[in-house]
Structure 1
Amino acid sequence: MREQTVPGYTCIILLIIGNICGGIISRRAFGGEINAQSAYYILAIMLIFSALMGYYNVKRNTRAHRKWMLRSVVYFSVVISARLIMLAARLIVSNIGTYHSLWRCDEVFFIVKDENTLIQQFPQCSSSTPSDNGLYVPVHASIYEGKLGTAAAVRVVQGMALWVATIIHMALVEAYIRSTESANSQRHGFVLEARDFDSEKTYSPRNSYW
């Protein structure tokens, strides 16, 4: 059991630390869009809560422990699905061609690297210190318009991708838990067995499969 317990506790501790750091970073990540921020915060709460509930039920209720740890793992993988959704979504919004995201002039300057290009595309950003200009300008979201357009497309779809992935993962993990409920009905030793599990029959010396 120690081989499983120590890594489990370590994982929970690192998970909490990582989510706290992620929550801090999300204020600025992908432009700090409020829809992306809210998705990050809710996901972090869901993930930490499910992990702690799994820890709480380790020795109290094995069935509940299994359910909460399954939820924790599935919630943790939301970002993977969100990434795949984002790759498809940014292509869609680029083909639609009417989406924009708000960027500060200093953010645009960081991408284009050239002051003349910045002023040519965004005259509003004209300043003696473009790297410190906090004025916001709309940037066309399109993966066909270089690094800036691609970054704008990613910023547009990031929050949506996180929310969609979260909903999908929540629905699928609950469906899986319900569908496997009868197969993990009772505890026998350190494992969960089916509702109709017969320990005497399974572990009997007469059983040719044992």
Structure 2
Amino acid sequence: MAKSPCSRKTAPPAGKQKAYVATTDQVWALYEAVPAPVRTAVLTGAFLGTRLAEAGGLMIADLDLMRGVWSPSAQYPDDELKTATSRTPVPFSQELALELSAHIAATADQRKGEWLLCDQWGSQLAPWTIQRAIRAARAKVPGLPEAFSYLRHFFASMLIADGSDVKKVQAALRHASAKSTLDTYSHLWPDADDTIRAAGGRVLRERAARLAAEAT
């Protein structure tokens, strides 16, 4: 034979690994375990959904602390963001605004630039410094992977648990398409069967409550 009929056979594709989602306790344990300069990086990952390079490149001017809006403009050290979608503004809570304001005030005298995150010498906090601190903290927070990205996954899971639909999560994560969001986080949304059961149960409970009220 000039060519084997088996030559085009390939192994079935491997299933995509689900994103690791840290628990709330793990996030706060990590926050306590890392050095002070890195704690704000943990907050940006968990409550703004920053990528590692975006955390290092985040400028104070990108934060509207009064309105609670982050307008991404650059990634470390001062590079353009990879896509136009990455520039999508992200809203954040007043509680986070207070945390960020306190950090900015506390580092004002030592900071040598307009970055949000700086090291103990006031220089821009590098992604590898953040990553190294997280790696070292894992000994105190069992079960956590090394990657900064699991904080972004926590951010997504928090939004989903709070009832956000796929379009809202897509916008907050600045994904180019809803497919990217679903490919990564579809397992975190309630199962369709559970949603149907919950909806039916709610209607029946409302009817039972109305009949009980009429009977009295």
Q: TM-score range with shorter-chain normalisation?
A: under 0.3
TM-score by length of 2: 0.22
**Structure 1 or 2: larger strand share?**
1
Instruction: Flag the structure with more relative contact order, 1 or 2, with Cα contacts below 8 A and sequence separation at least 6.
Output: 2
* Greater fraction helix: 1
